[in-house]
Amino acid sequence: MDQHFLQQVEADVRRALEEDVGSGDLTAALVPAGRTAHATIVCREDAVICGRPWVMETLRQAAPGATVHWHVDEGGRCRANGLVAEVSGSARALLTAERTCLNFLQTLSAVATSTARHVQAVAGTPARILDTRKTIPGLRVAQKYAVRCGGGHNHRMGLHDAILIKENHISAAGGLAAAYAAALQYAERASFIQVEVETLAQLEEALGAGVTMVLLDNMPLEQIRLAVGMAAGRCSLEISGGVSLERLPELAATGVDRISVGALIKDIRAIDLSMRFDGA
């Protein structure tokens, strides 16, 4: 994990604790100051577990000295009612940290679990599953990390690291070829340059302009098949828009290289986890 990632985790946790704890945990103060506790984190449903860096950072900030024994690896699968981790430390501090730990764990495990289902749906095909920028504001690094834990791949992190030329860019720049030519000036700063097309005619124009990465936006299945034949390996093809888990096998079977799915992150349901103290 690089330094930027660790700094982002620290900032995420600090912000979450400030939001939850504020000037102090009034309820935890009811527990004698010197009392210690042992707690277990249990997952109530089948899931891919993700979020360990955020849990560990939460404990570092809110419950220094706490010890954790993980029973499921990061990115590992947990069966319903399975034991995820055991935590020991100051009872007051663990009570304060509990909800923030679980919030990160339930949210990131949900993304990882959703991603794993989508990846499984295209198994045996060349297609890779990618995320989008449809993330919870402030949690993009965390949620894209969770996609990787689920076996998926990241699209661009933001507007700063890659170029995706969409219909509005094409219109404002004076056409597809003009927009792509302008983008090439920033090639050294961008991890990739991709052009979005909505029709086969636009795909032909993109191929003529030398575009090497094309995003097929909301194309019907038969047009996607035709697009794969037209590209004939001259560019990588990605599908976006109208993608569902049920449709993934037939979409992947067309021979496209990438399928980006906003639902990996934006349509998740939190995983059911709980932290219980011994004797509770």
**DSSP per-residue codes, 114-163:** HHHHHHHHTTTSS-EEE--S---TT-HHHHHHHHHHTT-B---SSTTT-E
The torsion defined by the Cα of 98, 56, 268 and 151, in degrees rounded to 10, comes to: -150
Based on the domain organization, do 124 and 255 belong to the same domain? yes
pLDDT recorded at residue 29: 94
Residue 231 belongs to domain with CATH number = 3.20.20.70
Active site residue 166: yes
Q: Please identify which of the residues 60, 133, 166, 266 carries the catalytic annotation.
A: 166
Active site residue 99: yes
Sheet order of strands, 193-197 included: 128-130, 258-260, 236-240, 213-217, 193-197, 163-165
Based on the domain organization, do 84 and 136 belong to the same domain? no
CB-side neighbour CA atoms (13 Å) of 247: 14
Active site residue 266: no
pLDDT recorded at residue 30: 94
pLDDT recorded at residue 78: 98
Q: Please identify which of the residues 60, 99, 128, 133 carries the catalytic annotation.
A: 99
Based on the domain organization, do 97 and 191 belong to the same domain? no
Based on the domain organization, do 107 and 129 belong to the same domain? no
Q: DSSP 3-state assignment of 273?
A: strand
Based on the domain organization, do 88 and 148 belong to the same domain? no
Based on the domain organization, do 61 and 178 belong to the same domain? no
| Side chain identity at residue 154, one-letter code | N
| 225 burial type by CB count under 10 A (0-12 exposed, 13-18 middle, 19+ buried) | middle
Instruction: Return d(Cα 143, Cα 155) in angstroms, integer.
Output: 12
pLDDT recorded at residue 206: 97
Q: What is the pLDDT along the chain (280 residues), one digit of tens a residue?
A: 799 999 999 999 999 999 999 999 999 999 999 999 999 999 999 999 999 999 999 999 999 999 999 999 999 999 999 999 999 999 999 999 999 999 999 999 999 999 999 999 999 999 999 999 999 999 999 999 999 999 999 999 999 999 999 999 999 999 999 999 999 999 999 999 999 999 999 999 999 999 999 999 999 999 999 999 999 999 999 999 989 999 999 999 999 999 999 999 999 999 999 999 997 6
Instruction: Return d(Cα 150, Cα 129) in angstroms, integer.
Output: 10
Based on the domain organization, do 262 and 135 belong to the same domain? yes
Based on the domain organization, do 33 and 167 belong to the same domain? no
Active site residue 257: no
| 2 burial type by CB count under 10 A (0-12 exposed, 13-18 middle, 19+ buried) | exposed
Q: Please identify which of the residues 60, 77, 134, 266 carries the catalytic annotation.
A: 134
Q: Please identify which of the residues 12, 131, 196, 257 carries the catalytic annotation.
A: 196
Based on the domain organization, do 101 and 179 belong to the same domain? no
Based on the domain organization, do 85 and 166 belong to the same domain? no
Under 8 Å between Cβ of 193 and 216: no
Range of the domain at 190: 120-266
Residue 86, beta-bridge partner list: 40, 69
Domain count along the chain: 2
For 32-67, the DSSP string reads: -TT-EEEEEEEESS-EE---HHHHHHHHHHHSTT-E
Q: Please identify which of the residues 217, 225, 247, 272 carries the catalytic annotation.
A: 217
Based on the domain organization, do 96 and 13 belong to the same domain? yes
pLDDT recorded at residue 279: 74
Residue 16 belongs to domain with CATH number = 3.90.1170.20
* Both structure tokens of 42: 């249990």
pLDDT recorded at residue 264: 96
| Side chain identity at residue 164, one-letter code | L
Orientation angle between helical segments 52-62 and 3-21, nearest 10 degrees: 60
- To the question of pTM greater than 0.85 for the whole model, the response is yes
Based on the domain organization, do 247 and 131 belong to the same domain? yes
